[in-house]
Structure 1
Amino acid sequence: MPEYAPVELPDTPRLAHNIIHFARALRRAGLPIGPGRVIDAVRAVQAAGFTERMDFYWTLHACFVTRPEHRVIYAQVFRLYWRDPRYLEHMMSFMLPAIRGVQEEKLAQSGEKRAAQALLDDHLPEVPENEQASEDTTQIEIDATMTMSAEEKLRTLDFEQMSTDEVAQAKRMLARLSLPVKPIPSRRGKASDIGAQMDFRRTLRQSMRTGGDIRSIARKTPRPRWPNLVVLCDISGSMSQYSRMVLHFLHAVANEKGAGWAKVHAFTFGTRLTNITRHLAKRDVDAALKSAGAQAQDWEGGTRIGACLHDFNRDWSRRVMGQGAVVLLITDGLDRDEAGVLEAEMERLHLSSRRLIWLNPLLRWDGFVPKAAGIRAMLPHVDSFRAAHSIQSLEELAAALSKRDDAGDKARLMQML
């Protein structure tokens, strides 16, 4: 452990105290920040100065942020704590329950709920009671038979709108999900006493033991053949939170016994393609995703879907697409490459797979229209187009796999092209 010399505070120690409280808020939001990093942050601010707001932002960012998935939380906590004092009042009003009159619920942006929860230290401001209501001691009974439970509400909540506690609870719910699949019909058979087909080869082999006399007819039944599951997950900046939750779901699928999959192959892509299959084999989900994140260096970066699909079709398609593989493509379709290249690679991927299912979190919006060039190029070459923004959408994926003709919302969106 390195030894730290006593820290000399600035002339006005209020800034150093604010940095300490800011670090505590980040720690409550989930960032691993210890006393050593706080001391380094105070020293870094002393060296860099406090003149430009962006310099101050990136100085603390270099001291406190060590993982790509922590950037969103850091940005939101910084905005709440340093930039706009009225923003905290907005988040406090957002976190209040709607019990005073008719109040419209407002959805928070990415990371806002977790950032506000960290700054408020899980202590919500008290709601002032009405004076007349305080004097009246009459108890009011509320019929809650038609209300949703907390778990049911969490199933339909968008991953981007979840707080820190809701994310942890959602991960536990995802760990219990399964993705069963039906076997593929096969010409090969296995011995069975009640099989519907006659096994002529085994019948002749048995007759050789009795001098060529056929005393019994051997029977067989079709041998089940299980497909591979190939997952291509977008980890660009617009997909980071959704991809993180989906990877928790895939870890549960990869370690589920008896689900039917021959093998689960997982790839992440942003600006390049990364194979994380061996990391999902670890039983500990935190260790698995940590090692996968360390290998995938393009977290929250740009998006080059066409180039990454070209690398997959060239280097991995023949290795993992055997036995009639089912492909899950998880991306929003916002690509920076040429639409012609993306369309050609999507067509090749579709022809190589038994079934290609596209999971797009943008489909959660009722007014979603396929206007982006990448989405228009990809949509005709998928078998099913579904949403992937909540626990309920992932649960519905299991039902979609059991239905061969389930196309999701593809037919409706194809009419808009």
Structure 2
Amino acid sequence: MTDAPFVANLVAFGRALRSVGIPVTPAQTADLARALTWVDLTDRAQVFRTARAILVTRKEDLVLFETVFNLFWRHPEGQSVSTPRRPPAPRDRPRREGFTIATYAAFRARGELEERDVADRAGTFSDQERLQRKRFAEMSPEELEAARRLMRTFRWEASRRVTRRRTPDPSGSEIDLRGVLRHAGRLGALPAYLPRRTRAEKQRPVILLADVSGSMERYSKLVLQLFHTLMRSMSDVETFVFGTRLSRITPQLRLRNVDRALAEAAHHVVDWAGGTRIGACLGDFNRTWSRRVLRRGAIVVVVSDGCDRGDPEALAQEMRYLQHRCHRLIWLNPHAGHEDYAPRVAGMAAALPFVDDFLPARDIRSLKEFADTLARVRGGARRARIGRTEVSRGIPRVESDTRFDYVSS
């Protein structure tokens, strides 16, 4: 085993491995010489596995080592060995010619591409774009169904609020003292790092109120479909409808099937397509439901055209109370959005001063704007807490011919 020719062969074998890029040190060659004294040199498999275990340190060199081993130990000493080389690196490989106008023209010249007539559609709108610009009042039943499917593709989410609860956060601003004690009790010593925490965030509750009176009959079904989509997309949503009385339809709209949910809601509401008493219905909501649902910075959304047969002063009082109870009050009007629009009806004129966001709801684009507004609602100036006995103080009297210029937000 200590024969000079054998040692020379091992050195030449290590040199051959290094020439193809396999790192082999003299110490590894010496270890291989000592290891071969413990194996049967007549067994080629034992010699191969021993040499591979000592000389190969990278997985990607296994195949290359086997090739060099078979070539080297097959030839007698002194004969040149043609050793393979590594494949070129990706940066050294020739680049494939990309697609250009010249290559496309050469491909067309071969006659392999079938000629086709393509109609010129430049300057035209797709059906979806045309549908987004069309008013709901002018849509056919098929277009309303397509609009409902398009609404479901929107990303419906309410803004988030900072809660009082804390959650672990490595980059938090506070040290988690309870976490420090837990780590110290588990390790029996102070931890190597101080766990931190931050205040958790949670989605704001959303309260939906829709007008289903006679003046809103053409929009009522689409509005309820919108409410069903919002309930399926977000958590902590309450839905109400009103005409001459207030009705809660949250359990009905929780059904997965939209047609069945709308049928159950229509069966539950008794004043569908009737008169309108917005002030009285909002008063019923403020007395019965506000303490239950207007919590933790709720967002209230009212969908109505503002036509009211009740007292405008009573509506203004209830609107002021509702605005101070919620975090944000959004009003959607299907007639708004036109440059010539003005709230000429007494109910809309009385409610508008207490609305935080007055948005149109006349087409798909306006609903997309509403979705963006709902997601980016942030905390504003803190309103003073008021009671129901203080609501009527300081409210100006609203006459039936009062007009406010509408400014698109």
TM-score range (shorter-chain normalised) is 0.5 to 0.7
Structure 1 unmatched runs, 5+: 1-140
Structure 2 unmatched runs, 5+: 1-117, 381-403
Q: In structure 2, how many angstroms separate the alpha carbons of the residues matched to 1:230 and 1:317?
A: 10
**Equivalent residue number for residue 162 of structure 1:** 139
Alignment check: 8 A CA contact 2:167 2:198 kept: yes
Residue type at the aligned position of 1:300:
A
Tell whether 2:321 aligns with 1:348.
Answer: yes
Q: In structure 1, how many angstroms separate the alpha carbons of the residues matched to 2:338 and 2:193?
A: 64
Q: In structure 2, how many angstroms separate the alpha carbons of the residues matched to 1:142 and 1:294?
A: 50
**Equivalent residue number for residue 389 of structure 1:** 362
Larger of the two Rg values belongs to structure? 2
How far did 1:213 drift?
Answer: 4.2
1:52-92 deviation per Cα after TM superposition (whole angstroms, max 9, x unaligned): xxxxxxxxxxxxxxxxxxxxxxxxxxxxxxxxxxxxxxxxx
Q: In structure 1, how many angstroms separate the alpha carbons of the residues matched to 2:155 and 2:168?
A: 30
Alignment check: 8 A CA contact 1:236 1:270 kept: yes
**Equivalent residue number for residue 303 of structure 1:** 276
Q: In structure 2, how many angstroms separate the alpha carbons of the residues matched to 1:288 and 1:328?
A: 20
The partner residue of 1:371 within 328, 341, 344 is 344
**Equivalent residue number for residue 179 of structure 1:** 156
**Equivalent residue number for residue 413 of structure 1:** 405
Per the alignment, do residues 283 and 379 of structure 1 end up closer, same or farther by CA in structure 2, a change over 3 Å counting? same
Alignment check: 8 A CA contact 2:180 2:190 kept: no
Q: In structure 2, how many angstroms separate the alpha carbons of the residues matched to 1:233 and 1:406?
A: 24
**Equivalent residue number for residue 318 of structure 1:** 291
**Equivalent residue number for residue 231 of structure 1:** 208
Q: In structure 2, how many angstroms separate the alpha carbons of the residues matched to 1:226 and 1:199?
A: 24
Tell whether 2:304 aligns with 1:331.
Answer: yes
Residue type at the aligned position of 1:413:
D
**Equivalent residue number for residue 277 of structure 1:** 250
Aligned length: 269
**Equivalent residue number for residue 222 of structure 1:** 199
Alignment check: 8 A CA contact 1:400 1:406 kept: no
The SS at the match of 1:187 is: strand
1:301-320 deviation per Cα after TM superposition (whole angstroms, max 9, x unaligned): 11000000001011111111
Alignment check: 8 A CA contact 2:168 2:198 kept: yes
Alignment check: 8 A CA contact 1:181 1:401 kept: yes
Q: In structure 2, how many angstroms separate the alpha carbons of the residues matched to 1:208 and 1:405?
A: 41
Q: In structure 2, how many angstroms separate the alpha carbons of the residues matched to 1:170 and 1:404?
A: 25
Alignment check: 8 A CA contact 2:327 2:379 kept: no
Residue type at the aligned position of 1:193:
P
Tell whether 2:169 aligns with 1:192.
Answer: yes
**Equivalent residue number for residue 145 of structure 1:** 122
Per the alignment, do residues 143 and 213 of structure 1 end up closer, same or farther by CA in structure 2, a change over 3 Å counting? closer
1:178-200 deviation per Cα after TM superposition (whole angstroms, max 9, x unaligned): 31223212332112334342112
Alignment check: 8 A CA contact 2:341 2:406 kept: no
How far did 1:377 drift?
Answer: 1.1
The SS at the match of 2:201 is: coil
The SS at the match of 2:160 is: coil
**Equivalent residue number for residue 217 of structure 2:** 240
How far did 1:205 drift?
Answer: 4.5
Matched ranges for 1:27-42 at <5 A: none
Alignment check: 8 A CA contact 1:346 1:381 kept: yes
Q: In structure 1, how many angstroms separate the alpha carbons of the residues matched to 2:349 and 2:199?
A: 41
- Please say which of residues 326-335 and 160-169 is displaced more in the overlay: 160-169
Q: In structure 2, how many angstroms separate the alpha carbons of the residues matched to 1:322 and 1:150?
A: 42
Alignment RMSD (CA, Å):
2.6
Alignment check: 8 A CA contact 1:174 1:248 kept: no
How far did 1:413 drift?
Answer: 3.1
Q: In structure 2, how many angstroms separate the alpha carbons of the residues matched to 1:406 and 1:157?
A: 34
Alignment check: 8 A CA contact 1:254 1:264 kept: yes
Residue type at the aligned position of 1:384:
D
The SS at the match of 1:255 is: helix
The SS at the match of 1:184 is: strand
Q: In structure 2, how many angstroms separate the alpha carbons of the residues matched to 1:297 and 1:177?
A: 31
Per the alignment, do residues 143 and 210 of structure 1 end up closer, same or farther by CA in structure 2, a change over 3 Å counting? closer
How far did 1:289 drift?
Answer: 0.4
**Equivalent residue number for residue 46 of structure 1:** none
The SS at the match of 1:307 is: helix
**Equivalent residue number for residue 68 of structure 2:** none
Q: In structure 2, how many angstroms separate the alpha carbons of the residues matched to 1:177 and 1:211?
A: 53
Alignment check: 8 A CA contact 1:307 1:337 kept: yes
How far did 1:378 drift?
Answer: 0.5
How far did 1:230 drift?
Answer: 0.5
Identity between Structure 1 and Structure 2 (%): 39
The SS at the match of 1:189 is: strand
The SS at the match of 2:161 is: coil
The SS at the match of 1:217 is: coil
Q: In structure 1, how many angstroms separate the alpha carbons of the residues matched to 2:378 and 2:340?
A: 25
